[in-house]
Structure 1
Amino acid sequence: MSGFWPVTDVLAYLSGIWRVERSVRDLVSGAEGTFGGTTEFEPLGGGGLLHHESGTFVWQGVARPAERTLRFLPGESASRADVRFADGRPFHDLDLTSGRHIADHPCAADLYRGEFTVLDADHWRTVWRVGGPAKNLLLTTDYARTTDHARAARATRPVD
Protein backbone atom coordinates (compact mmCIF):
# COMPACT_ATOMS: atom_id res chain seq x y z
CA MET A 1 0.00 0.00 0.00
CA SER A 2 1.29 3.45 -0.91
CA GLY A 3 0.19 5.11 2.33
CA PHE A 4 -2.34 7.29 0.53
CA TRP A 5 -6.06 7.07 1.24
CA PRO A 6 -8.14 6.75 -1.98
CA VAL A 7 -11.18 9.04 -2.27
CA THR A 8 -14.16 7.95 -4.35
CA ASP A 9 -16.20 11.16 -3.85
CA VAL A 10 -13.94 14.22 -3.55
CA LEU A 11 -16.70 16.74 -2.81
CA ALA A 12 -18.23 14.57 -0.08
CA TYR A 13 -14.76 14.04 1.42
CA LEU A 14 -13.91 17.75 1.51
CA SER A 15 -17.31 18.95 2.74
CA GLY A 16 -17.22 20.46 6.22
CA ILE A 17 -14.74 22.40 8.33
CA TRP A 18 -11.00 21.80 8.50
CA ARG A 19 -8.32 23.19 10.81
CA VAL A 20 -5.44 24.54 8.68
CA GLU A 21 -1.74 24.90 9.50
CA ARG A 22 0.58 26.15 6.75
CA SER A 23 4.29 26.84 6.60
CA VAL A 24 5.68 29.18 3.94
CA ARG A 25 9.37 29.29 3.04
CA ASP A 26 11.12 31.57 0.59
CA LEU A 27 13.77 29.25 -0.82
CA VAL A 28 16.00 32.14 -1.93
CA SER A 29 16.03 34.43 1.11
CA GLY A 30 15.26 31.82 3.75
CA ALA A 31 12.39 33.93 5.10
CA GLU A 32 9.65 31.91 6.77
CA GLY A 33 6.02 32.39 7.66
CA THR A 34 3.01 30.52 8.97
CA PHE A 35 -0.73 30.53 8.48
CA GLY A 36 -3.23 29.16 10.98
CA GLY A 37 -6.98 29.13 10.64
CA THR A 38 -9.87 27.20 9.17
CA THR A 39 -11.13 26.14 5.77
CA GLU A 40 -14.84 25.62 5.32
CA PHE A 41 -16.27 23.77 2.33
CA GLU A 42 -19.96 24.73 1.97
CA PRO A 43 -22.37 23.38 -0.68
CA LEU A 44 -22.91 25.67 -3.68
CA GLY A 45 -26.34 26.01 -5.25
CA GLY A 46 -26.27 23.90 -8.42
CA GLY A 47 -23.50 21.59 -7.19
CA GLY A 48 -19.96 21.88 -5.97
CA LEU A 49 -18.45 23.45 -2.88
CA LEU A 50 -17.49 26.97 -1.90
CA HIS A 51 -14.07 26.85 -0.19
CA HIS A 52 -13.45 29.72 2.24
CA GLU A 53 -10.19 29.88 4.15
CA SER A 54 -9.58 32.44 6.90
CA GLY A 55 -7.05 32.91 9.64
CA THR A 56 -3.83 34.68 10.52
CA PHE A 57 -0.73 34.85 8.32
CA VAL A 58 2.55 35.62 10.09
CA TRP A 59 5.42 36.65 7.83
CA GLN A 60 8.77 37.52 9.41
CA GLY A 61 7.08 38.17 12.76
CA VAL A 62 4.28 40.40 11.42
CA ALA A 63 0.75 38.96 11.87
CA ARG A 64 -2.15 39.95 9.63
CA PRO A 65 -5.57 38.51 8.80
CA ALA A 66 -5.72 36.48 5.60
CA GLU A 67 -8.44 34.76 3.61
CA ARG A 68 -9.21 33.30 0.21
CA THR A 69 -12.16 31.77 -1.57
CA LEU A 70 -12.19 29.03 -4.21
CA ARG A 71 -14.88 27.03 -5.95
CA PHE A 72 -14.64 23.24 -6.18
CA LEU A 73 -16.96 22.16 -8.99
CA PRO A 74 -17.95 18.61 -9.95
CA GLY A 75 -15.46 16.95 -12.31
CA GLU A 76 -15.80 14.16 -14.86
CA SER A 77 -16.36 11.62 -12.08
CA ALA A 78 -17.10 11.76 -8.34
CA SER A 79 -13.40 11.41 -7.49
CA ARG A 80 -12.55 14.54 -9.54
CA ALA A 81 -13.12 18.27 -9.06
CA ASP A 82 -12.55 21.36 -11.18
CA VAL A 83 -11.00 23.97 -8.86
CA ARG A 84 -11.58 27.61 -9.77
CA PHE A 85 -10.76 30.97 -8.26
CA ALA A 86 -13.63 32.92 -6.70
CA ASP A 87 -14.09 34.89 -9.95
CA GLY A 88 -14.47 31.68 -12.00
CA ARG A 89 -11.01 31.54 -13.59
CA PRO A 90 -9.54 28.01 -13.78
CA PHE A 91 -7.01 27.10 -11.08
CA HIS A 92 -6.37 23.35 -11.35
CA ASP A 93 -8.00 19.95 -11.58
CA LEU A 94 -8.12 17.55 -8.65
CA ASP A 95 -8.37 13.76 -8.86
CA LEU A 96 -8.08 11.90 -5.55
CA THR A 97 -8.89 8.41 -6.88
CA SER A 98 -5.48 7.16 -5.68
CA GLY A 99 -5.30 9.50 -2.67
CA ARG A 100 -2.58 11.53 -4.38
CA HIS A 101 -2.65 14.12 -7.17
CA ILE A 102 -0.20 16.50 -8.84
CA ALA A 103 -1.58 19.73 -10.34
CA ASP A 104 0.12 22.56 -12.22
CA HIS A 105 -1.00 26.18 -12.47
CA PRO A 106 0.97 28.65 -14.60
CA CYS A 107 0.72 32.20 -13.25
CA ALA A 108 2.44 34.78 -15.45
CA ALA A 109 6.04 33.52 -15.68
CA ASP A 110 5.80 31.46 -12.46
CA LEU A 111 4.66 27.85 -12.17
CA TYR A 112 2.70 26.56 -9.18
CA ARG A 113 3.00 22.77 -8.79
CA GLY A 114 0.78 21.27 -6.10
CA GLU A 115 0.89 17.80 -4.60
CA PHE A 116 -2.27 16.71 -2.81
CA THR A 117 -2.12 13.69 -0.49
CA VAL A 118 -4.98 12.21 1.50
CA LEU A 119 -3.70 10.58 4.68
CA ASP A 120 -6.98 9.24 6.10
CA ALA A 121 -10.66 10.16 6.51
CA ASP A 122 -9.80 13.27 8.56
CA HIS A 123 -6.36 14.45 7.34
CA TRP A 124 -4.92 15.64 4.04
CA ARG A 125 -1.96 17.75 2.92
CA THR A 126 -0.97 20.02 0.08
CA VAL A 127 2.57 20.97 -0.87
CA TRP A 128 2.88 23.79 -3.40
CA ARG A 129 6.23 24.58 -4.98
CA VAL A 130 6.22 27.94 -6.68
CA GLY A 131 9.07 28.69 -9.06
CA GLY A 132 9.90 31.32 -11.60
CA PRO A 133 11.51 34.71 -11.96
CA ALA A 134 9.24 36.34 -9.36
CA LYS A 135 8.97 33.58 -6.74
CA ASN A 136 10.73 30.56 -5.29
CA LEU A 137 8.49 29.33 -2.47
CA LEU A 138 7.51 26.14 -0.67
CA LEU A 139 4.05 26.09 0.97
CA THR A 140 3.08 23.04 3.03
CA THR A 141 -0.47 22.88 4.39
CA ASP A 142 -1.93 20.29 6.75
CA TYR A 143 -5.71 19.94 7.06
CA ALA A 144 -7.47 18.20 9.96
CA ARG A 145 -11.25 17.78 10.05
CA THR A 146 -12.91 19.58 12.97
CA THR A 147 -15.81 18.38 15.06
CA ASP A 148 -17.54 21.77 15.23
CA HIS A 149 -21.09 20.48 14.69
CA ALA A 150 -22.77 23.88 14.89
CA ARG A 151 -20.83 25.26 11.91
CA ALA A 152 -20.98 21.94 10.07
CA ALA A 153 -24.79 22.06 10.23
CA ARG A 154 -24.68 25.40 8.39
CA ALA A 155 -22.65 23.74 5.61
CA THR A 156 -25.68 21.68 4.60
CA ARG A 157 -27.40 24.82 3.24
CA PRO A 158 -26.48 25.74 -0.36
CA VAL A 159 -24.87 29.13 -0.89
CA ASP A 160 -24.71 31.16 -4.11
Structure 2
Amino acid sequence: MQGLIALGGGRGKERAIMPDLEEFVGDWTLTREIRDAYAGQNARFDGRACFSPGDGGLMYVERGVLCLPGQAPMTAERQYLWRQGPGGVEVFFNDGRFFHAIGPGDRPEAMHDCAPDRYHVRYDFAQWPRWTSVWQVSGPRKDYVMRSDFAPAG
Protein backbone atom coordinates (compact mmCIF):
# COMPACT_ATOMS: atom_id res chain seq x y z
CA MET A 1 0.00 0.00 0.00
CA GLN A 2 2.89 2.36 -0.60
CA GLY A 3 3.30 3.19 3.10
CA LEU A 4 -0.25 4.48 3.44
CA ILE A 5 -2.73 3.48 6.09
CA ALA A 6 -6.07 2.08 4.96
CA LEU A 7 -8.96 3.44 6.99
CA GLY A 8 -12.51 2.14 7.30
CA GLY A 9 -14.96 2.14 4.42
CA GLY A 10 -17.97 4.32 3.84
CA ARG A 11 -18.49 7.77 2.45
CA GLY A 12 -16.81 10.63 4.21
CA LYS A 13 -13.74 8.69 5.37
CA GLU A 14 -10.26 9.15 3.98
CA ARG A 15 -8.58 6.03 2.72
CA ALA A 16 -5.50 4.87 0.90
CA ILE A 17 -7.03 2.01 -1.09
CA MET A 18 -9.69 1.69 -3.72
CA PRO A 19 -13.21 1.60 -2.27
CA ASP A 20 -15.21 -1.61 -2.34
CA LEU A 21 -17.49 -1.89 -5.35
CA GLU A 22 -20.64 -1.45 -3.20
CA GLU A 23 -19.41 1.92 -1.96
CA PHE A 24 -19.96 3.40 -5.43
CA VAL A 25 -23.72 2.75 -5.31
CA GLY A 26 -25.69 5.99 -5.62
CA ASP A 27 -25.64 9.30 -7.44
CA TRP A 28 -22.55 11.37 -8.12
CA THR A 29 -22.03 14.84 -9.55
CA LEU A 30 -19.70 14.64 -12.53
CA THR A 31 -17.61 17.41 -14.04
CA ARG A 32 -15.37 16.59 -16.98
CA GLU A 33 -12.83 18.66 -18.86
CA ILE A 34 -11.49 17.49 -22.21
CA ARG A 35 -8.30 19.07 -23.57
CA ASP A 36 -8.10 18.03 -27.19
CA ALA A 37 -4.67 18.81 -28.67
CA TYR A 38 -5.59 17.25 -32.03
CA ALA A 39 -8.62 19.52 -32.50
CA GLY A 40 -7.00 22.44 -30.66
CA GLN A 41 -9.94 22.97 -28.33
CA ASN A 42 -11.27 22.30 -24.85
CA ALA A 43 -14.68 20.86 -24.03
CA ARG A 44 -16.68 20.52 -20.82
CA PHE A 45 -19.25 18.02 -19.59
CA ASP A 46 -21.46 18.62 -16.54
CA GLY A 47 -23.87 16.00 -15.31
CA ARG A 48 -24.55 13.07 -13.03
CA ALA A 49 -23.28 9.54 -12.77
CA CYS A 50 -25.33 6.81 -11.15
CA PHE A 51 -24.15 3.39 -9.99
CA SER A 52 -26.99 0.92 -9.41
CA PRO A 53 -27.02 -2.86 -8.84
CA GLY A 54 -27.66 -4.95 -11.94
CA ASP A 55 -26.33 -7.67 -14.23
CA GLY A 56 -23.98 -9.16 -11.64
CA GLY A 57 -22.31 -5.87 -10.75
CA LEU A 58 -23.04 -2.17 -10.87
CA MET A 59 -24.56 -0.46 -13.86
CA TYR A 60 -22.84 2.90 -14.43
CA VAL A 61 -24.89 5.50 -16.29
CA GLU A 62 -23.80 9.08 -16.85
CA ARG A 63 -25.96 11.81 -18.32
CA GLY A 64 -25.27 15.47 -18.76
CA VAL A 65 -24.54 18.34 -21.09
CA LEU A 66 -21.47 18.48 -23.31
CA CYS A 67 -20.27 21.93 -24.37
CA LEU A 68 -17.93 22.20 -27.36
CA PRO A 69 -16.57 25.53 -28.63
CA GLY A 70 -18.72 27.07 -31.34
CA GLN A 71 -21.55 24.53 -30.96
CA ALA A 72 -24.83 24.46 -29.10
CA PRO A 73 -24.70 22.44 -25.86
CA MET A 74 -25.76 18.83 -26.42
CA THR A 75 -27.06 16.06 -24.21
CA ALA A 76 -24.62 13.19 -23.75
CA GLU A 77 -24.93 9.77 -22.13
CA ARG A 78 -22.86 6.63 -21.74
CA GLN A 79 -23.07 3.37 -19.83
CA TYR A 80 -20.70 0.76 -18.47
CA LEU A 81 -20.90 -2.29 -16.23
CA TRP A 82 -18.56 -2.51 -13.23
CA ARG A 83 -18.02 -5.99 -11.74
CA GLN A 84 -15.85 -7.30 -8.96
CA GLY A 85 -13.02 -9.34 -10.48
CA PRO A 86 -10.24 -11.44 -8.99
CA GLY A 87 -7.74 -8.55 -8.96
CA GLY A 88 -10.04 -5.56 -8.58
CA VAL A 89 -12.92 -4.05 -10.48
CA GLU A 90 -13.48 -5.02 -14.12
CA VAL A 91 -15.18 -2.48 -16.37
CA PHE A 92 -17.18 -3.58 -19.40
CA PHE A 93 -18.80 -1.69 -22.25
CA ASN A 94 -22.60 -1.84 -22.17
CA ASP A 95 -22.51 -4.50 -24.94
CA GLY A 96 -20.52 -6.84 -22.67
CA ARG A 97 -17.03 -6.35 -24.14
CA PHE A 98 -14.20 -5.97 -21.62
CA PHE A 99 -12.89 -2.40 -21.33
CA HIS A 100 -10.29 -2.33 -18.53
CA ALA A 101 -9.58 -3.44 -14.96
CA ILE A 102 -9.09 -1.17 -11.97
CA GLY A 103 -6.48 -2.72 -9.71
CA PRO A 104 -5.97 -2.19 -6.00
CA GLY A 105 -4.46 0.94 -4.49
CA ASP A 106 -5.41 4.56 -4.11
CA ARG A 107 -4.19 5.55 -7.60
CA PRO A 108 -4.57 2.54 -9.90
CA GLU A 109 -3.79 2.75 -13.63
CA ALA A 110 -5.06 0.79 -16.60
CA MET A 111 -4.68 0.58 -20.37
CA HIS A 112 -7.06 -0.19 -23.20
CA ASP A 113 -5.78 -0.73 -26.71
CA CYS A 114 -8.25 -0.16 -29.51
CA ALA A 115 -5.95 -0.19 -32.52
CA PRO A 116 -4.73 2.17 -33.67
CA ASP A 117 -5.67 4.13 -30.54
CA ARG A 118 -4.40 3.72 -26.98
CA TYR A 119 -6.31 4.69 -23.85
CA HIS A 120 -4.49 5.10 -20.54
CA VAL A 121 -6.39 5.90 -17.33
CA ARG A 122 -5.33 6.81 -13.84
CA TYR A 123 -7.90 6.75 -11.07
CA ASP A 124 -7.40 8.66 -7.82
CA PHE A 125 -9.37 7.54 -4.75
CA ALA A 126 -7.08 9.12 -2.14
CA GLN A 127 -9.70 11.78 -1.21
CA TRP A 128 -12.65 9.38 -1.09
CA PRO A 129 -15.57 9.94 -1.45
CA ARG A 130 -14.31 12.48 -3.99
CA TRP A 131 -12.44 10.75 -6.78
CA THR A 132 -11.10 11.37 -10.27
CA SER A 133 -10.23 9.58 -13.45
CA VAL A 134 -7.80 11.01 -15.98
CA TRP A 135 -7.71 9.47 -19.45
CA GLN A 136 -4.87 10.14 -21.87
CA VAL A 137 -5.87 9.05 -25.36
CA SER A 138 -3.51 8.91 -28.31
CA GLY A 139 -3.69 7.67 -31.87
CA PRO A 140 -3.32 8.84 -35.44
CA ARG A 141 -6.37 11.11 -35.11
CA LYS A 142 -6.66 11.39 -31.34
CA ASP A 143 -4.64 13.32 -28.79
CA TYR A 144 -6.63 14.35 -25.73
CA VAL A 145 -6.67 14.32 -21.95
CA MET A 146 -10.02 13.89 -20.24
CA ARG A 147 -10.30 14.57 -16.50
CA SER A 148 -13.48 13.55 -14.68
CA ASP A 149 -14.18 14.68 -11.12
CA PHE A 150 -16.78 12.80 -9.06
CA ALA A 151 -18.38 13.87 -5.78
CA PRO A 152 -21.36 12.45 -3.90
CA ALA A 153 -24.59 14.08 -5.06
CA GLY A 154 -26.55 15.64 -2.30
RMSD of aligned C-alpha atoms?
1.8
Q: Give a deviation string over 1:42-76, Cα, whole Å, max 9, x none.
A: 0014x310000000001114210000000001211
Distance in 2 of aligned mates of 1:50 and 1:29: 32
Contact 1:24 1:137 in 2 (8 A): yes
Whichever residue aligns with residue 54 of structure 2, its letter is: L
Q: Can you give the 5+ residue segments of structure 2 that lack an aligned partner in the other structure?
A: 5-13
Distance in 2 of aligned mates of 1:89 and 1:73: 12
Q: Larger relative CO (CA 8 A, sep 6+): 1 or 2? A: 1
Structure-2 residue corresponding to 1:114: 121
Once structures 1 and 2 are overlaid, which stretch shifts more, 27-36 or 128-137? 27-36
- Percent identity at matched positions? 32
Per-residue deviation, 1:4: 6.7
Contact 2:119 2:137 in 1 (8 A): yes
Per-residue deviation, 1:33: 0.3
Question: Could you say what secondary structure the match of 2:108 adopts?
Answer: strand
Whichever residue aligns with residue 68 of structure 1, its letter is: R
Distance 1:146 1:8, change over 3 A: closer
Whichever residue aligns with residue 34 of structure 1, its letter is: R
Number of matched pairs: 142
Indicate the structure with greater helix content. 1
Structure-1 residue corresponding to 2:16: 5
Distance 1:31 1:42, change over 3 A: same
Matches within 5 A, 1:5-154: 5-7=16-18, 9=20, 11-45=21-55, 47-62=56-71, 63-76=73-86, 80-95=88-103, 97-147=104-154
Q: Give a deviation string over 1:86-119, Cα, whole Å, max 9, x none.
A: 0001100012x32111110112201000000113
